[in-house]
Structure formats: C-alpha cells, structure tokens
C-alpha cells in the first residue's frame, strides 16, 4: 500500500500536512487492500504471540497499552 494512500485511508486530516493537497481530491480506494493487509498482519502477530503463556500475554498487552498511552 502506497504511504499516501494509507495516510488518506486512516488519517485524512493529516493528508495536507505531508504536502499532498486537499484530501477530498484523492480518490484512490484501498479498502480491499487495507483489509487484506490487516488480516495478514493479524495472522502473523497471532503466530508470533502464540509462544506466550496466558500470564506473559497479559503482561505483553499491559505493556503495549502503556506504550500506546505514553505516545498519545
């Protein structure tokens, strides 16, 4: 997925910040590609995290949420 298309799809309010003009003028539709990429990413992450036991997974989720909160 082209970065310009990805920004427009997920954060159109940021489109002009990157110098790409008015988001209303951007017409590329990537919904199908985005959904496919999300599914592939989710499957890969599920496989990677499958080695964790329940306690380790809980800790991972807690730390991921804390990192997200710190960056918001």
Mean pLDDT for the stretch of residues 3-31: 92
Q: What pLDDT score does 38 carry?
A: 96
72 falls in which pLDDT band (50, 70, 90)? confident
Percent of the chain with pLDDT over 90: 89
What is the model's pTM?
Answer: 0.69
Q: Are the C-beta atoms of 33 and 1 separated by less than 8 Å?
A: yes
Nearest 10 degrees: Cα torsion 6, 9, 11, 15: 70
Say yes or no to pLDDT of 70 above 90.
yes
Using one digit for the tens of pLDDT, what is the confidence trace for 43-53? 999 999 999 99
49 within 8 A of 60, measured Cβ to Cβ: yes
| Nearest-angstrom CA–CA distance, 55 and 57 | 5
d(CA 33, CA 72): 27
């Amino acid at each position: 997925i082209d970065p310009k298309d990805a920004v427009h799809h997920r954060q159109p309010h940021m489109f002009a910040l990157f110098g790409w003009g008015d988001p209303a003028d951007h017409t590329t539709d990537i919904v199908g590609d985005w959904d496919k990429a999300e599914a592939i990413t989710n499957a890969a992450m599920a496989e990677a995290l499958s080695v964790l036991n329940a306690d380790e997974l809980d800790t991972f989720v807690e730390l991921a949420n804390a990192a997200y909160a710190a960056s918001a």
